[in-house]
Structure 1
Amino acid sequence: MKNLIKNSTILAIIALVTFSFTTLNDGDKTIKVEQSKVVWKGYKVTGSHEGVISLKSGMLSFTDGKLTGGEITMDMTSISNTDMEGDYKTKLEGHLKSDDFFGVQNHPTSTLVFQNVEATGKNSYKISGNLTIKGITKPIAFNMSIYGNKANASLKIDRTVYDVRYGSTAFFDNLKDKAIYDEFDLVADLEF
């Protein structure tokens, strides 16, 4: 009888611990926008520029401790440059916010909505989703890693499919060293 009570107690403790850790990771987790960071990097013939974009909101969904969905909204009015100073910085930020690039007056946010999440390893996922920039939604695929309450993702984006054509050799001739490459990078470090 003592062994039965002892075994039952041990099983109850194991079940409680297992249940506690499983449910701890399940549900929608709000992304802490102040602790998260999105870095952009754009390339041109003569070099590159980079900066940050603030998040407006976001959440990641988990079931049985695995990522199953998510949605992120970026505040495009916050786009800033981090590799220049003074007038050059101000001029570039103004140009990025103009209709030549992201037209933030009419399109103040961009969104990324996860459509399909496939586990590729213990902490890694392949995600297919829809990215909306300037009111144009296109499919995108990328990888995400999750460790504890942090997630990291890198995206390569073709700006021309979102009607961001300024300086693109696909639309303008004779740009020479003023050409800007069509693809830019986003690296997201998220905390939830």
Structure 2
Amino acid sequence: MKNTIKSFAFLAVIACLTFSFTTLKTEKKDIKTEKSNVVWKGYKVTGAHDGTIAISSGNLLFNDDVLTGGTFVMDMKSIIVTDLEGDYKGKLETHLKSDDFFGVDAYPTATLTFTNVKASGKNAYNITGDLTIKGKTNPITFVMSIYGSKASASLKVDRSKYDVKYGSASFFDDLKDKTIYDEFDLIADLEF
């Protein structure tokens, strides 16, 4: 009996040592920026506008094919409006890039860095990250789905947390039908 207990104890020690020195294979997969896109949609009392923002760089981190992290840099100077044409398109793009909104001359990039990733299903992950816009960083949560070498995510961003004040009822009273809602959507379709 004593020999059996000693054998089990010995095996337990060997197993613990083996698992202690076994490391997971971490792999960094760069985002193919030319095949990936981010669509934005902003809402106001009288309607909505949408467009795109280019990803200038990004990567996802995996341990044995399980998502563990990621970082993205968006080129804020690349903001494009896709629901308008002509002068209206140009005016809105210029306004979005101005200090009234994203101040792209002073803040040419926005970043998202994952801080916590938890699997929530076969191909889905609940993610918490730090989103930095206009030099201000706030936590954000969202779900990301991954299928093969593609990923998709939808984020709701509260612009008032990033000092984007223009037309916001959080900063100005009595805007009525000139109100632009604080939350806007970002929908990312990524290839890596």
TM-score range, shorter chain: 0.7 to 0.9
**1:8 counterpart residue number:** none
Q: Report matched runs for 1:7-22 at 5 Å.
A: none
**1:67 counterpart residue number:** 67
**1:139 counterpart residue number:** 139
**1:80 counterpart residue number:** 80
Q: Report matched runs for 1:169-184 at 5 Å.
A: 169-184=169-184
> 1:69 is matched by which residue type in structure 2?
G
**2:107 counterpart residue number:** 107
Compute the TM-score of the two structures, normalised by the length of structure 1.
Answer: 0.86
**2:160 counterpart residue number:** 160
**1:43 counterpart residue number:** 43
Alignment length, in residue pairs? 169
**2:6 counterpart residue number:** none
> 1:54 is matched by which residue type in structure 2?
A
* Structure 1, unaligned runs of 5 or more: 1-21
Deviation at 1:73, TM superposition (A): 0.3
Deviation at 1:121, TM superposition (A): 0.6
Deviation at 1:55, TM superposition (A): 0.5
Q: In structure 2, what is the Cα distance between the partners aligned to 1:59 and 1:89?
A: 31
Classify the secondary structure of the residue corresponding to 1:167: coil
Q: In structure 1, what is the Cα distance between the partners aligned to 2:105 and 2:81?
A: 18
Deviation at 1:175, TM superposition (A): 1.1
Q: In structure 2, what is the Cα distance between the partners aligned to 1:169 and 1:60?
A: 36
Deviation at 1:174, TM superposition (A): 1.7
> 2:189 is matched by which residue type in structure 1?
D
- Per-residue CA deviation, residues 29-75 of structure 1 (Å, 9 max, x unaligned), is 00000000000000000000000000000000000110000000000
**2:126 counterpart residue number:** 126
Deviation at 1:173, TM superposition (A): 1.5
- Per-residue CA deviation, residues 17-40 of structure 1 (Å, 9 max, x unaligned), is xxxxx97xx500000000000000
Compute the TM-score of the two structures, normalised by the length of structure 2.
Answer: 0.86
**1:10 counterpart residue number:** none
Off by >4 Å, runs of 4+ in structure 1: none
Deviation at 1:170, TM superposition (A): 1.4
Classify the secondary structure of the residue corresponding to 1:88: helix
